[in-house]
Structure 1
Amino acid sequence: MNKIALITDSISDLNKEIVDNYNIKVLPLKIIYKGKEFLDRINITPKDVYDRMPEEVPTTSLPSMDEINNLYIDLEKEDYTHAIAIPVSSNLSGTFNAIKLISDDHPKINTHVFDSKLISIGEGIIVEQCAKLISGGNPFDKIIELLPSIRDKVHLYYLVDTLEYLKKGGRIGKVSGAIGQLLNIKPIISLDEEGTYYTVAKTRGKKQAINKLLSIVQEIVEKCKCKVYVMHGGAEEECKKLFNVVSKFPNITSLYTGEISPAAGVHTGPGLLGIALFEE
């Protein structure tokens, strides 16, 4: 009988209840301050990172090959026959390739590494839906077949307070050319079909940016029923206000809120607001 493991990384921003309920294997990324390493969400919190950013911006690193290899050794001991790995977009991190390389060294476990082409809870939504399919007893091949259609139902948008951190981290993607150097321009960004950042809209000032973000969300939820996730990185009070406005929109089947992983937040900076939607 097949036993399917589900693997993701800590950037997926899944809450502990979902991780524990579906026994999802989460590989933590590393947050590095001047030679001192922390494991994302294990011994450092998002708030720790955002609060410290004015003084020091850390670097990040994907899970080590040893950590991924040890996970596979454990999966073999637990008699897993198959694994589905859903990491952050391969155009934003080397985690996808690292898992693929290590999984090739463990042929006893039939592994499919699926490129989410997303980040944060956008990636997490795919992981959660995959977990439900595994829990429901669906065959491995059928689940793999369904993953692209699940990804197509995810909408993800971020309001970035500053481009400084995306530029520093080299994750600017297709954003910089689209916004120019205009004063106080706040871009709303998403990820394209290649899993690279691009500009959805640009507005002058954060208030207008929030209104534009809300209009984008409203347009989607008026067409279909959606699960909605309102996220933030170092912007808790603004996130609460955004959550309250979104809660009044039609066709929302469930509404969640949470913090964006510091491994992602390092590259976007504080003041980040994000909304993800999953068409049901």
Structure 2
Amino acid sequence: MNKDKVAFLVDSGSNVPEEYVELGNMNVIPLKIIYKDEEFIDNVNITAQDVYDRLSEEIPTTSLPSGEVISDIFKKIQDDGFKKVICVTISSGLSGTNNMVRVISESFTDMDILTIDSKNIGIGSGLIAVQAYKYLEAGLDWETIKMKLQEDVLKSKMFFHVPTLEYLQKGGRIGLVASILGNMLNLKPIITCNDEGVYHTVAKIRGSKKSVQKAIDLAVDFAGTAKKYNLAIAYGGKTAKNQVNEIRSVLKEKLPLFDTIFEGEVSPALGVHTGPGLIGIGIIVTES
């Protein structure tokens, strides 16, 4: 199928690599960052570093855009002449975006719209959107693409090293007791999404360096005997960015069968819930 005949709709929390966002048929739903006196549009007029710089003053909340915003994007896609749309969003277990997209899409009956619940967050979701584009480049037919993308939800995973549990706790993602005990013991959790697409702690490692290494090891285990895969390194803030070169070297050594390694800062919306210093290791198996 010609890639120019299919439009994409992703949310900003999926952290789709910028080189794909810049393609003419890639549309992004912006999440919102809300402070008590003002609000911002995710990755448009606020960066993750902006969020980190203000955390000592105020921890904002995040929110979906209005249904009108999403409907307007669909209308634009329709007006541009597209008849098929692939929508990929962060997990429905963490955000209502997927459900809102699915419901609104039902009113655009003259377009064939596929909505994928990635059951993941950050570039763990974005890797699925990238894979969709690659299927189109390869000329796969529409029905095959739909089938393969549903399968890819189970083939994509993100493992996050989180330096502190404070922000996950304040955002209601983990309990207060777990947060206090983890910080007292210098435990650094590795967070992923479970089969329901909800945050799940897969390991608690003492010390940041060992925690990052454990995230890499978990990605290696996830790859198993796969023949090909794409990888991703996500980081939160300047300190985490300084670790990327070393992490990339380790990934290339331990997972040498990769096609591409994507790198980038997490979205401000994700940064709100995890705080600075986050390192994410993402993988999507492309050939078993």
Taking structure 2 as the reference length, what is the TM-score of the superposition? 0.87
Give, in whole Å, the separation in 1 of the partners of 2:52 and 2:245.
Answer: 17
Q: What is residue 232 of structure 1 aligned with on the other side?
A: 235
Amino acid at match of 1:247: K
In structure 2, what residue type is equivalent to 1:158?
F
Query: 2:119 corresponds to which letter in structure 1?
Result: K
Trace 1:52-71 onto structure 2 (pairs within 5 A): 52-71=54-73
The answer to whether the Cα contact below 8 Å between 1:188 and 1:200 also exists between their aligned partners in 2 is: yes
Q: Tell me how far apart the structure 1 counterparts of residues 23 and 74 of structure 2 sit (CA, whole Å).
A: 20
Specify whether residues 203 and 82 from structure 1 end up closer, same or farther in structure 2 by C-alpha distance, changes over 3 A only. same
- Partner of residue 14, structure 2: 12
Q: Could you say which residue in structure 1 is the equivalent of 2:181? A: 181
Secondary structure of 1:21 counterpart? coil
The two structures, once aligned, show a CA RMSD in angstroms of 2.4
| Equivalent position SS for 1:147 | helix
Query: Are 1:272 and 2:266 counterparts?
Result: no
Residue 97 of structure 2 corresponds to 95
* Cα distance in 2 for residues equivalent to 1:86 and 1:222: 25
What letter corresponds to residue 213 of structure 1 in structure 2?
Answer: A
Query: SS of 1:181's equivalent?
Result: helix
Separation in structure 2 between the aligned mates of residue 278 and residue 191 of structure 1, nearest angstrom? 14
Which residue pairs with 2:41 in the alignment?
39
* Letter aligned with residue 232 of structure 2: Y
Residue by residue over 1:27-68, the C-alpha shift from the partner in whole angstroms, topping out at 9 and shown as x without a partner, is 111112223121111111222222222222211111211111
Q: In structure 1, what is the Cα distance between the partners aligned to 2:225 and 2:112?
A: 39
Question: How much has 1:178 moved relative to structure 2?
Answer: 7.8
Please say if residues 22 and 135 of structure 1, whose CA atoms lie closer than 8 Å, have aligned partners that are also in contact: no
Aligned to 2:264: 258
Q: Which residue of 2 aligns with 1:157?
A: 159
Query: Residue 244 of structure 1 aligns with which residue?
Result: 249
Deviation at 1:230, TM superposition (A): 1.2
Unpaired stretches in structure 2, ≥5 consecutive residues:
none
Question: d(CA) in 1 for partners of 2:139 and 2:210?
Answer: 46
Q: Is the 8 A contact 2:128 2:284 kept in 1?
A: no
**Pairwise CA distance, 1:97:** 1.2
Return the alpha-carbon distance in structure 1 between the equivalents of residues 78 and 214 of structure 2.
49
Structure 1 residues 124 and 81: CA distance shift in structure 2, 3 A: same
Does the C-alpha gap of structure 1 residues 163 and 34 become closer, same or farther in structure 2, counting only changes over 3 Å? same
Give the deviation of 1:219 after TM superposition: 4.0
Distance in 2 between residues matched to 1:219 and 1:114, nearest whole Å:
25
- Change in 2 beyond 3 A, CA 1:177/1:246: farther
Q: What fraction of aligned residue pairs are identical, expressed as a percent?
A: 41
In 2, Cα distance between the equivalents of 1:177 and 1:239? 32
Q: Which amino acid is the alignment partner of residue 115 of structure 1?
A: D
Deviations 1:178-233 (A, max 9, x none): 88824211111111111011111111222221232233234455733332211111
Q: Counterpart in 1 of 2:129?
A: 127
> Unaligned stretches of 5+ in structure 1?
none
CA distance in 1, matches of 2:151, 2:176: 30
SS, match of residue 118 in structure 1: coil
Q: How many residues align?
A: 278
